[in-house]
Amino acid sequence: MTVRQSIVFNGDLGSGKSTVSVEIAKRLGMRRVSVGDLYRKMAQERQMTALQLNLHAELDQAVDGYVDQLQRDIAASGESLVMDSRLAWHFFTDALKVHMITEPGEAARRVLLRPSGPAESYTSLEEAKAKLKERSESERNRFLVRYGVDKARLRNYDLICDTTRASADEVIESIIDAYEGRLAPEVLRGAPPLLLLDPGRVYPTEEIGGLRGLWDSTSVPEVPADETGLEPLDIGYTGEYFFVVNGHRRLSAALRNGVRLVPGRLVAEVEEPVVGGVSAMDYFVAQTRPSLIHDWEAAHDIQLPLPEHALLAGDAVLAGESG
């Protein structure tokens, strides 16, 4: 795989983009440009919060126009660099496009812990979680209207990296391995994105009883200490939840062995078909039932939030029992 010219980062607020991009720029000897820093400076100059500037930008195109032209100029310069920007993936062609994600509660916790300025401050975990979601949705809507692109669509990127439990060093090494062609080059070359997911956040779609021998601890295979040696799982995505289509045994082994990042190939996203023309969303609803989730949790000593359809199904069962 040919090494690409630049690395551009997009991702959830609180996902660690700044920490990771700064260190990668140091290790690779590349200049780093942060559009987030630029927006925060613009917000402070206008005596606004970051969210207020986002909402203002929905009405005043000059805000985005200035930043976008700056990114176009940088992309056209031919310089190899690390770019931390929510829209650089749209402007850069010859780059490894990295999208970083994390569990919303963990993202809010991180944001609360870091020093805050007048452009970005929160008084509680719940406020931080709500404001981060509102800010992200404001950006997404703005990009849809202005550019006709969806920053939440995973196929816009080459690499999706879940930072919920993985250490900064694990994430950094994985991104550098992908950039230099050592990590799953067949996925990155043939059908990106490559997913690096926290196995504790991936939902099963098969009953435990159908996975013969899986729960016998003596049969759980050892897995490599890093994701470069793991065969990618086949993963579906609803737009909110990741689920395994093929690779339950590998996912279980990763959980049993304490692995914090597992590789996956995206086989279907949102309305894309998984099997038999069934969309990722419909497949997830049909296959991932409350009992299946509870059995998977019990077998691996993890907690998976019940999706809305599973909560509704549980409520229906309780209503039937009470009736």
CATH code of 237's domain: 3.90.1530
Tokens 């650089």 belong to residue: 88
Whether the Cβ atoms of residue 96 and residue 158 lie closer than 8 Å to each other:
yes
More confident residue, 217 or 95: 95
| Helix axis angle, 17-28 to 168-179, nearest 10° | 50
More confident residue, 320 or 154: 154
Same-domain pairing of 239 and 147: no
Same-domain pairing of 76 and 17: yes
Where residue 97 sits, what CATH number does that domain have?
A: 3.40.50.300
What is the model's pLDDT at position 319?
Answer: 44
Element holding 178 (H helix, E strand): helix 168-179
- pLDDT per residue over 251-288, tens digit each? 999 999 999 999 999 999 999 999 889 999 999 999 99
What is the share, in percent, of the chain residues with pLDDT greater than 70? 82
Judge whether 62 lies within some domain. Answer: yes
Judge whether 172 lies within some domain. Answer: no
Judge whether 182 lies within some domain. Answer: no
- pLDDT per residue over 217-229, tens digit each? 444 455 554 554 5
Structure token pair of residue 161: 């990296």
Quote the number of domains for the chain: 2
**Domain span holding position 102:** 6-160
- pLDDT per residue over 143-196, tens digit each? 898 889 999 999 999 999 999 999 999 999 999 999 999 999 999 988 899 999
Same-domain pairing of 94 and 228: no
Same-domain pairing of 223 and 133: no
Judge whether 189 lies within some domain. Answer: no
Same-domain pairing of 202 and 309: yes
pTM passes above 0.75:
yes
| Domain end among 160, 185, 209 | 160
Same-domain pairing of 204 and 156: no
DSSP string, 46-109: TT--HHHHHHHHHH-HHHHHHHHHHHHHHHHHT--EEEE-SSHHHH-SSEEEEEEE--HHHHHH
Inform me whether the pLDDT recorded for 289 exceeds 70: yes
Structure token pair of residue 33: 């440009």
Judge whether 191 lies within some domain. Answer: no
pLDDT band at 72 (very low <50, low <70, confident <90, very high): confident
- pLDDT per residue over 16-28, tens digit each? 998 999 999 999 9
| Domain end among 134, 160, 186 | 160
Same-domain pairing of 156 and 22: yes
Q: Decide the pairing of beta strands 233-237 and 95-101.
A: unpaired
Judge whether 180 lies within some domain. Answer: no
Same-domain pairing of 145 and 264: no
Tell me the C-alpha distance between 57 and 34, whole Å: 18
Tell me the C-alpha distance between 200 and 18, whole Å: 24
Judge whether 165 lies within some domain. Answer: no
Structure token pair of residue 129: 């979680």
Judge whether 237 lies within some domain. Answer: yes
Inform me whether the pLDDT recorded for 118 exceeds 60: no
Same-domain pairing of 230 and 124: no
Dihedral of the CA atoms 190, 191, 196, 197 (nearest 10)?
-150
Same-domain pairing of 237 and 149: no
Same-domain pairing of 208 and 150: no
Same-domain pairing of 240 and 294: yes
Tell me the C-alpha distance between 214 and 51, whole Å: 47
| Domain end among 132, 160, 188 | 160
What is the model's pLDDT at position 116?
Answer: 62
What is the model's pLDDT at position 218?
Answer: 45
Whether the Cβ atoms of residue 66 and residue 115 lie closer than 8 Å to each other:
no
